[in-house]
Amino acid sequence: MAGGTMATNLDFSDAYRQSMLAKAETLVEALPYLQRYAGRTFVVKYGGHAMGNPEAARDFAEDVVLLKAIGINPVVVHGGGPQIGAMLKKLGVESRFVDGLRVTDAATAEIAEMVLSGRINKELVSWIAAAGGKALGISGKDAGLVTATKVEKVIIDPDSGDELSVDLGFVGEPSRIDPTILHTASAAGIIPVIAPIGVGEDGCTYNINADTMAGAIAAELGAARLFLLTDVPGVLDKNKQLLTDLTPDDIAALAAEGTISGGMIPKLETCVMAVKAGCEAAVVLDGRVPHAMLLEVFTARGAGTLIRA
């Protein structure tokens, strides 16, 4: 029996050593990336679907706090489409979409701001606090962060082929970014968490697509990375295999041949805009995978599709 106990202890010790060795090797693999990104900014767009899972939200918050702890400055921009839709349904307000953009009348805009700047924003701030970080929940309206202009949407009539102008209501896009509040927060050790709401020169409040807002902020900050966390592994080829590295020319060719379509097109357009305007690289990756962002940044293999100019 004593011999059996000794063998068990020895086996545990060997297993423990192997586990610790694997962790040490992981840290060594990460070292050049830690050195490369120290002091740089990562802009992360966190999607509405992922926010419905408390475990995923906890993992995300831990990742963001870890990035801040090792000297990277994360800036989080969050969505909330599903949550807005649920609240509109609960209040009996009917939604209408044009090419994936919600037509936003005054009532819808008020509800969207309430959900985005209120419930969702503060939930994320709370998750980050629970993970040991400090976060500041704001919207694009705060400190003049995002000035918006009304989106002018033109669609093609499927019957006549004519161009038709569609009024989306209070849907905007960033026209000017003043990052002062982001620099101030980051320098104070605080993680900015931004709701995609902006104010126009006309004083009106505009709902902004979160991907678009994250891309504009990443470009303005000259971010090392823009992460778009979504519900697919990244950009897939016709055989459903992950494409790990793309350029704007590659993306144009894939769109022309129909390999990429639907909701992936505006995401990649945002990535192309960001990298052409000053962001070092953008990544589309699966936010449902635990710690996907860390795998993408700190391992040689990565975890999504990287887009460079």
Residues 195, 177: Cα–Cα separation, whole Å:
14
Say which CATH superfamily domain 36-231+260-307 falls into: Acetylglutamate kinase-like (3.40.1160.10)
Secondary structure of residue 3 in the 3-state scheme = helix
pLDDT classification of 1: cutoffs 50, 70, 90: very low
The predicted-structure confidence for 78-88, as pLDDT tens digits, reads as follows 998 888 888 98
Phi-psi category of residue 212: left, alpha or beta, with phi > 0 → left and psi -120 to 50 → alpha: alpha
Q: Label the pairing between strands 235-236 and 242-243.
A: antiparallel
Residue 262: half-sphere exposure toward Cβ, Cα within 13 Å: 5
The predicted-structure confidence for 16-46, as pLDDT tens digits, reads as follows 777 777 777 777 777 888 888 899 999 999 9
Residue with tokens 């097109």: 265
Domain ranges of the chain: 36-231+260-307
Residues 298, 296: Cα–Cα separation, whole Å:
6
Q: Label the pairing between strands 97-98 and 101-102.
A: antiparallel
The predicted-structure confidence for 251-294, as pLDDT tens digits, reads as follows 999 998 888 888 888 899 999 999 999 999 999 998 888 888 88
Please give the share of the chain, as a percent, with pLDDT higher than 90: 51
Which residues lie across from 43 on neighbouring strands? Answer: 75, 226
- Smallest CA-to-CA distance from 271 within 240, 303, 309 is with 309
pTM above 0.95, yes or no: no
As a residue count, the chain comes to: 309
